[in-house]
Amino acid sequence: MAGSGGCRRGREQLELERLGEAARAGSCPPSPPLSACSRQAWSRDNPGFEPEEEGAAAAAAAGPVLEMDVEWGSPAAGTSSSLGSGAAGPGGGGRRQRRVPAGRGGTEVPGRHQVPPDGAAPHRAAWAKRLARRLRGLWGTRLMEESNTSRERYLKSVLRELVTYMVFLVVLCVLTYGTVSSSMYYYTRVLSQLFLETPVSKMEKTDFKTLSTMDDFWKFTEGPLLDGLYWEMWYNNKTMAENKSFIYYENLLLGVPRIRQLKVRNGSCSIPEDLKDEIKDCYDVYSVADEDTAPFGLRNGTAWTYTNEKDLNGSSHWGLIATYSGAGYYQDLSRNREMTAVQIASLKKNLWLDRGTRAAFIDFSVYNANINLFCIVRLLVEFPATGGLVTSWQFQPVRLIHYISTFDFFLAACEMAFCLFVLYYMVEEILEIRIHRLHYFRSLWNCLDILIIVLSVAAIGISIYRTSTVDTLLKKLLEDQNSFPNFEPLAYWQMQFNNIAAVTVFFVWIKLFKFVNFNRTMSQLSTTMSRCVKDVVGFAIMFFVIFLAYAQLAYLVFGTQIDDFSTFQDCIFTQFRIILGDFNFTEVEEANRILGPIYFTTFVFFMFFILLNMFLAIINDTYSEVKSDMAQQKAEMELSDLIRKGYNKAMIKLKLKKTAVDDISESLRQGGGKLNFDELRQDLKGKGHTDAEIEAIFTKYDQDGDQELTEHEHQQMRDDLEKEREDLDLDRSSLPRPLSSRSFPRSLDDSEEDEDEDSGHSSRRRGSSSSGVSYEEFQVLMRRVDRMEHSIGSIVSKIDAVIVKLEAMERAKIKRRDVLGRLLDGVTEDERLGRDNEIHREQMERLVREELERWESDDTASQMSHRLGTPLGLNGQPRSRNSRPSSSQSDGIDGGGGGGGNNIHV
């Protein structure tokens, strides 16, 4: 009530002020202004509404804002009125919009509405409004469009969003694929061949992959490890640079290697009472709680004393058997081969590895300046509690030094563009969430957008951390080259970065289906999946119940003897491989000669022949339903149609493509001024026009019905089209443009149009739009009318053909009736006059022969007319399109139709 009272009082004050100023100017008072109360109520009901002027925020602080539309009746009044911000337009009619802030009691805030006389403030405000509208237009997407927006405008928003997204996709692909090359693969392959596939000695074939005992481990460290780390001699036995090792003569060994082990303490497991006399020591499987931290052996140096994870700046590592911490007992090796060999021999002699050892790590890093790549290497040897050992390895190539070559600077520009795109999409999603609230998260595509943004921000953060950390590590390394460069955290984050980048690229490509779904054919996939989701969920429950039952059976029966079934997870993956046809039946049979074949046979039968085919049947049936439903749906404008339409317009404007009228003109020029239907159809079909368009044009303008288009008829066609084009332009200029019920975002076209037009005119246009028809609706109706005209034209042509055939049948009946009458009259006359029968017979033969010849000529003409598609009139002449049978002829047709006994084929 207070708000409405404030509006009423403010309106009365403005009315009195306007009346007084009009009286002083000597002119009639203008028409009463529109009330702003309804606008305020409308803006409160519509949360998405925002004022179009930036001054609204400042005015709102003082109270309700009254927005008045003032109209002047004469130039003098417009000039003298203090309500206008400038002079009225030519002709004396003008409208200016004014915002009047009111206080709580309805009093006007003094000085708030005054405008400097030089007009600088309105120009700045207009410029600011234009800039704000253009900036808001950048984030216009389909989710920000109204529900009643036309299909074409909606598709334009989708197309703009698609183009922006494609640029983002290209930038992301350049970034991800630009940082990966085939050199990384060859880099890791040569290093892995050197350290993993080199035999421990010339007499043995054992390599790192096939190590089985601790003795094999020491053979590896004393043989292939030293030979691979230290390349101090050329192949001609010439010494290389002192205190530097270049693996394969190309890869610099950074700092010194490190060897580290983790142990578990004695007594970490329980020994049965019956065997305590026989077994004195017991070492459990590895766990952080059971780690041995006590000094052992020589009890001096880092190799014999425990160092925690924080001091080592290490991190946990996921091995094949367990997950190991970053602490332990470590030994940094030397920069030359001789000292390293002495250190390894000392460790071996003093029994550095014992029964408590559960893992041994060998870490080192190399750098190849030719390809600007680091390679962080970790060789892991795990000693399980069962005895023996298990080996694993990790070669991680990373590009830690950036911005060296020209391509690196190009990637830097792409990184900046990627950050801008992420910021752009963050703003876009925030605006969409602000508009739709919680309804925004009901769409799977919107959740995917949020996920892509989160992953992108995480990748940017990891990249910044990696770039800043590598400088510190390289600085430390250059200060002390005899220390171990701990690049392992960088390798970890690099691996996470690669994983995040891969997942991001995957989801970004998947999001393309969001735009592909606007195509009628492509949308069948998403519609099929959404419609059959309930059936698929029910099937999945039944499938996995049987699948997991078989997995547990296989794990319990074959888990102790077959590697593919050694864990429950391996059983699941192995069964999926069996479904795809990848299996080893011999191993299953050898593991259990009774249950093995039964398991395999029943699993294949139920999973492959029954359940898999049920799944395909569900998808197939749903797809058939979706396809039939889409065939019955009303055809709408698609994204491809919008692109094709824009392409055709551009080609016509560039004069690279001609319209149908231009094609007909060219065909007329080539045909010497005349063109028949067959030539026109063949020519226009070769230029991409349809049969319906060709037939409609030809039928409309072929007035004489001779199946030829003359120069006069072609000129009439061009005149009619020009007249229709002028009428359409006139209708478009006179039609009101509807005001959108939203204030954000506005398209650039609307913004420019609003800036060019007067505010009063735009207000009048808003008022008239409620009773009129929008331009988009008018265009839709025009297209429907055009389609109806084309359809009616084809129907009329078919009706004409039916009428022509009926006329031909009626003519034949009349002729037969005439001939028979003449023959009867002749016979009657001969009998009455008593003429000779011979003469009568000759006359009869002559009449019959003449009639047969006449029928043959009529049949020939009818066949030619049917072949050329030209209907014949009653006199055998080509029949005009607008000709119709008279009422007497129609009665004759109806009357003779029953007695003729002829079949009519249309």
- The predicted-structure confidence for 396-420, as pLDDT tens digits, reads as follows 998 888 888 888 889 999 999 999 9
The rounded distance, in Å, linking the Cα atoms of 123 and 665 is: 52
- Please report which confidence band the pLDDT of residue 796 belongs to, taking 50, 70 and 90 as the band edges: confident
E strand or H helix at 67, and its extent? Answer: strand 65-72
Between 646 and 383, name the one with better pLDDT. Answer: 383
Tokens of 774: 């929008």
Mean pLDDT on 48-76: 38
Model confidence over 137-153: pLDDT tens digits? 666 665 555 555 677 77
For the segment 505-528, the average pLDDT, to the nearest whole number, is 82
Could you tell me the pLDDT band of residue 274, with boundaries at 50, 70 and 90?
confident
DSSP letters spanning 163-188: HHHHHHHHHHHHHHHHT--HHHHHHH
Peptide bond into 47 cis (omega under 30): no
Q: How far is CA 787 from the centre of its chain?
A: 32
Beta-strand pair 323-324/317-318: antiparallel
pLDDT of residue 435: 85
Split at pLDDT 50, 70, 90, the class of 745 is very low
* Range of lowest pLDDT (9-13, 171-175, 725-729, 772-776): 9-13
Predicted local confidence at residue 652, as pLDDT: 73
* Cα–Cα distance for residue pair 46/711, rounded to 1 Å: 60
pLDDT at position 103, please? 40
Report the distance separating Cα 258 and Cα 312, nearest Å.
11
Q: In this model, does residue 102 exceed pLDDT 70?
A: no
Q: In terms of pLDDT, which residue wins out, 758 or 182?
A: 182
Q: What is the 3-state secondary structure (H, E, C) of 409-420?
A: HHHHHHHHHHHH
User: Residue 551's pLDDT is what?
Assistant: 95
Confidence check: pLDDT of 100 > 80? no
Least confident of 124-128, 549-553, 772-776: 772-776
pLDDT for 522 beyond 70: yes
Q: What is the mean pLDDT of the chain?
A: 74
Mean pLDDT of 727-752: 46
Q: Which of 367-371, 399-403, 467-471, 636-640 has the lowest mean pLDDT?
A: 636-640
Mean pLDDT for the stretch of residues 51-71: 38
- pLDDT the model gives residue 217: 95
Tokens of 806: 């009926």
Q: Specify the long-range contacts of residues 26-29, CB closer than 8 Å, at least 24 apart.
A: 26/76, 27/72, 27/73, 27/74, 27/76, 27/77, 27/80, 28/73, 28/77
- Distance, in Å, from the CA atom of 3 to the CA atom of 13, rounded to the nearest integer, reads 15
Segment 669-688, tens digit of pLDDT: 666 656 677 776 777 666 66
The mean per-residue pLDDT over the stretch 325-337 comes to 93
Whole-prediction pTM: 0.58
52 has a pLDDT exceeding 70: no
Rounded (to 5) percent helix, strand, coil in the chain: 60, 10, 30
Q: What percent of the chain has pLDDT over 90?
A: 31
327 — pLDDT class (breaks 50, 70, 90): very high
How far apart CA 154 and CA 166 sit, in angstroms, is 18
Distance between terminal CA atoms of the chain?
75
Provide CB contacts within 8 A for 800, sequence distance 6+.
871, 879, 881
